[in-house]
Structure 1
Amino acid sequence: MTAAADARRLWTLAEPFHALTYFAEEARAAFEAAGLRGFWAGYFAGRAAPLGVVGAEVVTATFVNFAPAFVARRVPGIWTAASPDAALGARLAGIDAAARRVLGEEWTTSAATVEAMHLAATAAAAVDLPGRPLAAANTAVEVPGEPHLVLWQALTTLREHRGDGHTVALVQRGIDGVQAHVLAAAAGRSERAWLQKARGWDDTAWDDAAARLADRGWLAGESLTAAGADVVAGTEADTDRLALGPWRALGDRGCERLAELLLPVRWAVVEAGEWPAGNPIGAPEP
């Protein structure tokens, strides 16, 4: 029977391909060409575009782990530079160009890519929408018929579905965005300096979050206590469980086959240097 471990494995395999939209130079260039100048303008516009013209409050609520002031410096200003449709076009153009460089022209229409596309699209079509705003918005994104782009969009819908579930796992434990980062750094999944820079939390906010976690008995200095380690493990287990639904549409055999097809894709992205070590996404090795 398809297990939560399958959801986690497929996320770790697919995430570097999705993340080309953040790290590849082609993606940055495409956003800049659309009028979105600077990394964060492209990031927020590209990721929020499926939601439509939304304000900083909605982006803060759905992205969860960014400092509100950090979001407000870009949103809603990004929509004066590019409409959501223009941002969606830019993110696909960036992925198209990056994939052709990193994975090769032949890969974009290969039999393996077409097979992976069908498997991922089947899972993406099975996402449950209630309580999943980013996943739901991505299910409505229209994608040209190129197999590699359909594959990318399907995997993006699935990763946002997982992220929506992760938010549920955090909220039910009373863990806010900055506390989630403090716990991630203590667990060794990323580094404090990178998380603060990439998510906009200053030292005061970080230290306050650490103090609140210490008061709950989850943190001692910069290290997790036994109780804190249990909380982190439980949050990840719930995230995996809540991400499982769409993958059941593939069954064991389909999940295993998609994993086989995604493994060389992940390798290619990592080997190309487009998956920075210790990046703030925090996806572990598969």
Structure 2
Amino acid sequence: MPTSSTRSQTSAQWARACWAASEPFTVNMFFTPEAASNVERAGLPGRAAYVVLRAAPLGVVPPAVAASTFRSFPAPVFAVLGEAWQRLTPQAAIDAHHVAVQQAAARQIGDPPAELADMADLLTEAVQHLDTSGRPLAAANQAVPPPAEPWARLWRALNTLREHRGDGHIAALIAAGLAVHDSEVLMAVWAGEHTDTAVLRATRSIDDDSWRAADTRLLDRGLFDLDGRITPEGTALRDWVEQVTDEAAAQPWRRIGEDRIALIHQFLTRLSSRLIDTGLMRAVTPVGAPWPPPALHGA
């Protein structure tokens, strides 16, 4: 009979495997032409779609608040929000994004899978039972009423789970004493050729000075050596952060249960594989989700 410790480890592994399986599909929906056109119609640059659409569930808050919840992006990136909420409401941005998700999925995936509605309902139910205490982006997304259209409903549930994991990840980074950008530099050096550092830096707007400053801080802590390589201490800290993140993200997957986890994992892997195989999405996302996703253990 599995112990409570074993069950906890298993559900944490499920959380990691399902995050990796869903990440390409979920994050892709912020960067489609359909998403960009939403903000362009409001008179904003299309490149602002990620910030505007991801921050929309927070409502009209000071840009500094949104920057704090995103954490790894410089504050000037969020200046667009002040202008955005003068041109459209956050609710209008949310509604338009749901339509964009439906349109993009139809274009990218084609005919909806037979199990789409069931998977959307299953994950939406899991989201409704999330404990979002201390998780601002997860709580904001959880408060968005589930859209009726299945693609949009699936995506909103997945994005809420993504933010739930992300909020927990930020807490782990803070506990590890990693300043802004330290985690990106640590991950890039740890992953080496398996991470596209140029894309990572571009999506986070990390300039040369900020990158060098983070590198110096990691060297001073003994996490890098003088040749810029990650030390055993650096690897151990990185592994600890990922372990804590997985454990903190386990609650919804534990509730879903092992009898349905395998079906979800297979479904999400197929969706993301479609985008990767057709060149619409990179196999390695900027946050470093592993691809192919880890196999499930214990399901």
TM-score range, shorter chain: over 0.9
Corresponding residue of 1:30 = 38
TM-score, length of structure 2 as denominator length: 0.89
1:71 aligns to 2:78 (yes or no): yes
Query: Which residue number corresponds to residue 104 of structure 2?
Result: 98
Equivalent of 2:230, from 221, 224, 230?
224
Q: Which amino acid in the other structure matches residue 51 of structure 1? A: L
Distance 1:272 1:81, change over 3 A: farther
- The answer (yes or no) to whether the contact 1:20–1:95 under 8 Å persists in 2 is no
Where do residues 119-268 of structure 1 align in structure 2 (5 Å cutoff)?
Answer: 119-188=122-191, 190-220=195-225, 221-268=227-274
Q: CA deviation at 1:278?
A: 4.2
Alignment: residue pair count: 281
| Change beyond 3 A, Cα 1:9–1:210 | same
Q: TM-score, normalised by structure 1?
A: 0.92
AA aligned to 2:147 is P
After alignment, is 223-232 or 265-274 more displaced? Answer: 265-274
**Counterpart check, 1:275 vs 2:278:** no
Which of 10, 28, 51 is the equivalent residue of 2:58?
51
Whichever residue aligns with residue 197 of structure 2, its letter is R
Is 1:56–1:76's contact at 8 Å kept on the other side of the alignment?
yes
Cα distance in 2 between the residues matched to 1:31 and 1:137: 20
Compute the displacement of 1:13 (Å): 0.9
Q: Is the 8 A contact 1:135 1:158 kept in 2?
A: yes
C-alpha distance in 1, partners of 2:198/2:78?
Answer: 18
- The CA deviation string for residues 32-60 of structure 1, in whole angstroms up to 9 with x for no partner, is 22433231x21111000000011221111
Task: State which drifts further: 21-30 or 151-160.
Answer: 21-30
Unaligned runs of 5+ in 1: none
Instruction: State the 1:263 CA deviation.
Output: 1.9
2:195 & 2:88 partners in 1: Cα distance? 32
Corresponding position: 1:15 with 2:23: yes
Shift, 1:147, TM fit: 1.6
After superposition, the C-alpha distances for 1:73-117 in whole angstroms (9 at most, x for unaligned) are x2322222322012112211221111001111x31xx43112211
Counterpart CA distance in 2 for 1:44 and 1:70 is 8
Cα deviation, 1:133-159, whole Å, max 9, x if unaligned, reads 000000111233122211111111000
Amino acid at match of 1:63: F
Q: Which amino acid aligns with 2:214?
A: A
* Structure 1 runs (4+) greater than 3 angstroms displaced: none
RMSD (CA atoms): 1.6
- The one-letter amino acid paired with 2:259 is R
Report the secondary structure of 1:19's partner residue. Answer: helix
- Counterparts of 2:77 and 2:62 in 1: how far apart (Å)? 13
Q: Cα 1:94–1:272, aligned 2, differ >3 Å: closer, same or farther?
A: farther
TM-superposed deviation, 1:128: 0.9
Tell whether the 8 Å contact from 2:31 to 2:50 is kept in structure 1 after alignment: no
SS in 2 for 1:241: helix
Checking the alignment, whether the CA contact within 8 Å between 1:116 and 1:151 is kept in structure 2 is yes
How many Å separate the matches in 2 of 1:55 and 1:276? 32
Q: Is the 8 A contact 2:200 2:287 kept in 1?
A: no
Work out the CA distance in 1 between the residues paired with 2:219 and 2:89.
43
Distance 1:148 1:156 in 2: 12
Amino acid at match of 1:150: R
Q: Which amino acid aligns with 1:27?
A: A
CA contact (8 A) 1:49 1:87 kept: yes
Cα pair 1:65 1:199 within 8 Å, conserved: yes
